[in-house]
Amino acid sequence: MFENFTVIPSIDLKGGQVVRLLRGDMKRATVYGANPGQTARRFEEAGAALIHIVDLDGAIAGAPRNVEAIAKIRAAVKCAIDVSGGLRTIEAVRAAIAGGAERVSIGSAAILDPELVRRACAEFPGRVFGSIDIREGRLAVKGWLETSQLTVAEAADRFRAAGIAAAIVTDISRDGAQAGVDAARMEEIAGVVRVPVIASGGVASLDDIRALRMRFDAGIVGVVVGRALYEGNFSLIDALAAAVC
């Protein structure tokens, strides 16, 4: 799936609007637009092959809440979309796929209900990502409101056994903060996870993208970029260029 290092723009949804949180705090949301479809179209026109969509309300509620906004995104673009947030039943996963998602990302459910991930991977081989959200070395679940006692290695074992296609690893302490990525730490995690890793959280500059791209052979196959694009630190066109040179 990931033959080359991939830059994946993110659209986070809260109340149908495009937002970014600071370090996962729902009370610290910056609104960047009220038209998710338009945002997605801009990313596709800039060259995005895959867009990562996060239903923030769904992640906290435990069931999808921004279905209409995701449908608008699907209608607006032809590129692949990855849907996450609140997918904690096989019915929710099936509905996301039926709604046009090429990929789904499952996080909390992997910790709370490991059988769901196995079922999803069996029904949709190659289309399920695992979300590993890390706060101070531990896994955060339920919209990052709670911390699991599972270690990253234990969660990775579950995901790997289930057959996920890749793991989106988010450093919550850096997410939305434009603090820069800890590429060396991500490389360490990739060594533990032992499935393709998509890094997320903290991207502030093109150098962050280059630092991760240089670790492609170590298992880091892509990066999710959010606030840095919305704040204009660089364009998606420039980010895609940095991923190949």
What's the token pair of residue 7?
Answer: 């830059």
**217 among known catalytic residues:** no
Helices vs. strands in the chain: H and E counts, helices first: 11, 12
* 33: amino acid identity, one letter: G
Q: State whether the Cα torsion 168-7-19-65 is positive or negative.
A: negative
Residue 113 identity: D
Half-sphere exposure in the Cβ direction for 181 (13 Å, CA): 30
Catalytic-labelled residue, pool 12, 57, 82, 175: 12
Catalytic residue among 133, 171, 175, 182: 133
CA dihedral 191, 196, 201, 204 (to 10 degrees): 100
113 assigned to active site: no
Residues 223 and 196: their CA atoms lie apart, in Å, by 11
Coil, strand, or helix at residue 123? helix
- DSSP letter assigned to residue 127: -
Structure tokens at 226: 């959010």
Cβ atoms < 10 Å from Cβ of 126: 12
Block residue for tokens 């069931």: 63
Question: Catalytic positions, please?
Answer: 12, 133
